[in-house]
Amino acid sequence: MSKATVMAVVNQKGGTGKTTTCENLGIGLAREGKRVLLVDTDPQGSLTIALGHSRPDDLPVTLTDLMAKVMQDQPLAPKEGILPHEEGVELVPANITLSGLEVSLVNAMSRETVLKQYLETVKDSYDFILLDCMPSLGMLTVNALAASDQVLIPVQANYLSAKGLEQLLQTVNKVKRQINPKLRIEGILLTMVDYRTNFAKEISTLIRDTYGRRLKVYDADIPRSVRAAEISAEGVSIFKHDPGGKVAEAYRSLTKEVMANAEKRRKHQLDQLR
């Protein structure tokens, strides 16, 4: 059985739409029949909350426990700590205890690859594993990059920080060089685009012109909409909350692009084996 494609959703800047993208791309893929695991690697637990667990601190098992077991060489039960969601995805939840684990990683053996080692134990059961990263380039984000095949970078169109993006690309390249040679940037996703303003259109064009040659910018942009902001408290995706709306439409397009890219890569790999 083939192993999952692991995708890190990363931006060290806060509030760029990482969690919203993880949730809706993940559920979008599940709606297309893919087996999807979402992993909350952020001690804030936003993805955990967004998927309906409003009190992450009360959960008996979270990513902290699973990574701690890996670090202590303890066995994991099948699907230990993995929670089902009504829309077909599964979740490894997180809470604030993950901050403590991040500190203890500093002195751990193979500290950059603890998450990777954990994911190896579950990879056979999924087609896609999406990692919701925290807004920093610390050890948990390095673990996410070390465990991933590809990176999706949500960028809030109105607040593009070219310097921030360069810093992120440097970190991705460093992880690629030193720890994970197969890591590649899948694409930049423009989020919270307000098409009522000319400014947003200009920024979108600017990003495509500036980075489009070096990096893929997804054709799908995610529009700004209060309907998207509402889902954080609803425990369901935009496909359930507002199925006919423009944000659902945009995440549907993104899902198709991600699947088409995965299929292209699979064919390319098969061609190389021939």
Q: Which positions touch ligand ATP (CB under 6 A)?
A: 14-20, 42, 46, 135, 191-192, 222, 224-225, 228-229, 232, 247
Question: H-type helices in the chain, by residue range?
Answer: 18-31, 46-50, 63-71, 97-105, 114-120, 139-147, 162-178, 198-211, 226-230, 238-241, 246-273
The amino acid occupying position 229 is A
188 backbone dihedrals φ, ψ, rounded to 5°: -100, 135
Closest approach, Cβ 143 to ligand ATP, in A, equals 16
Specify the residue, 24 or 64, whose C-beta has the smaller distance to ligand ATP. 24
Min dist. Cβ of residue 75 to ligand ATP (A)? 32
Smaller CB separation from ligand ATP, 94 or 192: 192
Displacement of CA 97 from its chain's centroid (Å) = 20
Which lies closer to ligand ATP via its Cβ, residue 46 or residue 48?
46
CB nearer to ligand ATP: give 8 or 71.
8
- Read off the amino acid at residue 70: V
Q: Which is nearer to ligand ATP, 70 or 142 (CB)?
A: 142
* Closer to ligand ATP by Cβ: residue 94 or 146: 94
In the complex, what is the shortest distance from the CB of residue 19 to ligand ATP, in angstroms, rounded to a whole number?
3
Please, are residues 76 and 121 in contact by the beta-carbon 8 Å criterion?
A: yes
User: Residue 245 and residue 219: Cα distance in Å, rounded?
Assistant: 18
Tokens of 125: 């059961």
State the DSSP code for 88: S
Q: Closest separation between CB of residue 18 and ligand ATP, Å?
A: 3
d(CA 236, CA 23): 9
Nearest approach, Cβ of 10 to ligand ATP (angstroms)?
Answer: 9
Pick the closer one to ligand ATP by CB: 63 or 71. Answer: 63
Task: Tokens for 107, please give them.
Answer: 């002195």
Structure tokens at 40: 């909350």
Question: Phi/psi at 154 (nearest 5 deg)?
Answer: -80, 130
Q: Least separation, in Å, of the C-beta of 27 and ligand ATP?
A: 14
Q: Which helix (H) or strand (E) holds 67?
A: helix 63-71
Shortest distance in whole angstroms from residue 193 CB to ligand ATP = 8
